[in-house]
């Protein structure tokens, strides 16, 4: 007869389900308000994004960060089994793996901590020297979000639209069609392959990724070395049956020697649940049996802390800024509002794609090489797909790392992401000599004005008023090249306030009909 699971395991399953569902939802439906509402509550709890955001001085994330760190000091890495979406996803793979006879059980095989800390150090050094490439490929929240957004997003849209079509046919217009959007093939394939690889690791050896490559796992592993409550083996009660070792997906329990590598433990409580003799317990450190050991590795911890500092010093001396040529600026991506500068942005964004999913106008797309290799998959403005809504500040509001600062609406409306550039010889007004004006029509600041030239009206750009929102570029109907496009500003500027002198003084009401 199957016994009722241990309360700690039940608690883990409940919390993991809640986080798993909500963290999936905020990435799943493009442009949905769910992201805007839930993200500020959920994302401060995500370790790496919040640490990155803290380095930018946003103390508000401490509201999420401190509980996570305190929880780890109290209970070890339970975060990895409840709050981390990638951990939860791996647990689903591990559950699936159990169906395979040869893959039913695990055995003790804790990966060497030195390897994990080396990877972690390299990740941190690169991040501090300005390249988030490795961090972005390994950081669990972003790795998960990226796939849900770029692979799950289109699937959600397809499913929704199919359902909307059928319901409409039945005369029940309950669902609204969502605009179809697909990211660059590379931006879909690589994140998908990364997830498949992590899934394969999970299928092979459980939470191997979490104890070899994951930066959050490394950081929390260090903390869990001093945690108060631990998985403890009662040497009297334990009969070395090995049940605990077989269910340990972190492969960190050695039943023969009755030891637990608690730094590698992800706090799933499967072991306690599986133990037939109550030989395992979750107890405060002062109850611990004197003979229980943990694998310490103090030197590697020390190295972890020193390496980033020396690495940063080395990096600073080698990288020097240089001016961009015109052709380079043409290929550059426009960074979203709140980025402040491309350099600042690419050095803080973990490419989680939360802004990509939350953006109501769906103008944000994952970049491929537009920011350079270290900016891989970080979001850029795609003015072919859409344009930035003048009054909207959602991307900065949801950004969990602070790479996009939350701009007050008034400031956002004056923030120049780039400047519109008009190509006269490509414009319809010039080539066909007929009125068009789609660019000026859409411009929210009238930085693009139409001035008479012969019998038609021709666009003229006022640089100082342009905020680079891309409305003109998006609306421009010339093909294949747009006759007006935004040249990105590597450092975001500030536009002039528009002229607000009243168009008509004195009495406004119509006195006489002019016909």
Partner 1 sequence: MDRRAFVRTSAAAAAWTLAGGMRLEAAGKIPDLVAVKGGEAEAMFRRGIAALGGMRAFVKPNSKVVIKPNIGWDVPPERAGNTNPKLIAEIIKQCKEAGAKEVTVFDHTCDNWSRCYRTSGIEAAVREAGGTMAPGHAPAYYQEVKLGTGKSLTSVKEHEAILAADVFINVPILKSHSSTRLTIAMKNLMGNVWDRGYWHANDLHQCIADYAGYRKPTLNVVDAYAVMKRNGPRGVSVSDVVTMKAQLLSTDIVAIDAAGAKLLGLDPSDVRHIELAAARGVGTMELDKLAIERISL
Residues that bind partner 1 (CB under 8 A): 161, 164-165, 173, 176-179, 360-361, 389-392, 428, 432, 434-438, 440-446, 449-450, 457, 475, 477-479, 498-504, 508-510, 513-515
Calpha distance 439→446 (Å, rounded): 10
Contact 295, 263 (CB under 8 A): yes
Q: Is residue 151 within 8 Å of residue 188, measured between CB atoms?
A: yes
**Considering beta carbons, is residue 122 or 457 the nearer one to partner 1?**
457
Q: Which two tokens stand for residue 22?
A: 């909500």
Minimum Å distance from CB 426 to partner 1?
Answer: 12
- Nearer Cβ to partner 1, position 32 or 227? 32
Q: Smallest gap, in angstroms, from Cβ of residue 448 to partner 1?
A: 8
Q: Nearest approach, Cβ of 433 to partner 1 (angstroms)?
A: 9
Spell out the residues 6+ positions from residue 222 whose beta carbon is closer than 8 angstroms to its own.
Answer: 263, 301, 304
CA atoms within 13 A on the CB side of 360: 13
Strands (DSSP E) found in 265-396: 280-284, 364-366, 379-381
Q: How far apart are CA 246 and CA 210, in angstroms?
A: 18
Q: Which is nearer to partner 1, 390 or 422 (CB)?
A: 390
Q: By C-beta, is 179 or 256 nearer to partner 1?
A: 179
Between 9 and 442, CB nearer to partner 1: 442
Residue 321 vs 514, nearer CB to partner 1: 514
Quick check: helix, strand or coil at residue 498? coil
148 versus 392: smaller Cβ distance to partner 1: 392
Least Å distance between CB 149 and partner 1?
19
Q: How many angstroms from the chain centroid is the CA of residue 438?
A: 34
Judged by DSSP in three states, 458 sits in strand
CB of 389 to partner 1, least distance (A): 5
Closest approach of partner 1 to the CB of residue 71, in Å = 38
DSSP string, 76-112: SSTHHHHT-HHHHHHHHHHHHHTTSGGGS-----PPP
In the numeric block, which tokens belong to residue 195?
Answer: 């997830």
Least CB distance to partner 1 at residue 345 (A): 24
């Amino acid at each position: 007869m199957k016994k009722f699971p241990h309360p700690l395991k039940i608690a883990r399953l409940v919390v993991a389900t809640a986080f798993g569902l909500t963290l999936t939802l905020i990435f799943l439906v493009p442009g949905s308000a769910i992201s805007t509402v839930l993200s500020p509550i959920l994302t401060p709890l995500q370790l790496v994004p919040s640490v990155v955001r803290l380095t930018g001085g946003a103390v508000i994330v401490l509201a999420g960060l401190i509980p996570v760190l305190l929880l780890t000091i109290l209970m070890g890495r339970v975060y990895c089994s409840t709050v981390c979406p990638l951990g939860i996803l791996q647990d689903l793979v591990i559950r699936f793996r159990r169906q395979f006879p040869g893959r039913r059980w695990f055995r003790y095989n804790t990966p060497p901590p030195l390897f994990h800390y080396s990877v972690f150090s390299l990740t941190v050094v690169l991040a501090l020297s300005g390249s988030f490439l490795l961090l972005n490929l390994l950081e669990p929240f972003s790795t998960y979000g990226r796939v849900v957004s770029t692979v799950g997003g289109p699937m959600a849209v397809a499913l929704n639209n199919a359902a909307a079509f059928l319901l409409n046919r039945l005369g029940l217009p309950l669902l609204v069609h969502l605009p179809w959007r697909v990211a660059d093939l590379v931006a879909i394939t690589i994140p998908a392959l990364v997830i498949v690889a992590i899934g394969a690791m999970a299928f092979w050896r459980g939470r191997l990724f979490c104890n070899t490559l994951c930066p959050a796992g490394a950081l929390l592993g260090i903390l869990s070395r001093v945690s108060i409550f631990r998985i403890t083996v009662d040497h009297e009660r334990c009969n070395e049956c090995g049940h605990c070792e077989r269910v340990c997906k972190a492969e960190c329990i050695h039943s023969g020697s009755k030891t637990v590598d608690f730094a590698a433990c992800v706090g799933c409580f499967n072991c306690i649940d599986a133990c037939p003799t109550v030989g395992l317990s979750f107890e405060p450190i002062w109850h611990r049996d004197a003979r229980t050991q943990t694998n310490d590795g103090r030197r590697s911890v020390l190295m972890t802390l020193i390496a980033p500092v020396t690495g940063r010093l080395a990096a600073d001396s080698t990288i020097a800024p240089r001016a961009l040529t015109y052709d380079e600026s043409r290929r550059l991506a426009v960074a979203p509002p709140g980025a402040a500068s491309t350099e600042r942005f690419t050095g803080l964004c973990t490419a989680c794609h939360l802004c990509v999913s939350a953006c109501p106008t769906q103008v944000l797309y994952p970049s491929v090489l537009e920011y350079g290799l270290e900016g891989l998959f970080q979001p850029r403005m795609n003015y072919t797909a859409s344009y930035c809504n003048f009054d909207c500040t959602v991307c900065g509001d949801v950004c969990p790392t602070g790479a996009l600062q939350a701009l007050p609406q008034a400031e956002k409306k004056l923030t120049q992401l780039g400047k519109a550039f008009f190509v006269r010889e490509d414009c319809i007004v010039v080539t066909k000599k007929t009125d068009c004006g789609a660019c000026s029509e859409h411009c929210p600041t009238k930085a693009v004005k139409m001035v008479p030239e012969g019998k038609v009206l021709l666009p003229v750009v006022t640089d100082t008023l342009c905020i680079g929102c891309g409305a003109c570029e998006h609306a421009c109907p010339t093909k294949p090249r747009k006759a007006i496009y935004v040249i990105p500003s590597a450092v975001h500027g500030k536009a002039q306030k528009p002229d607000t002198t009243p168009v008509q003084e004195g009495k406004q009401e119509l006195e006489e009909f002019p016909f």
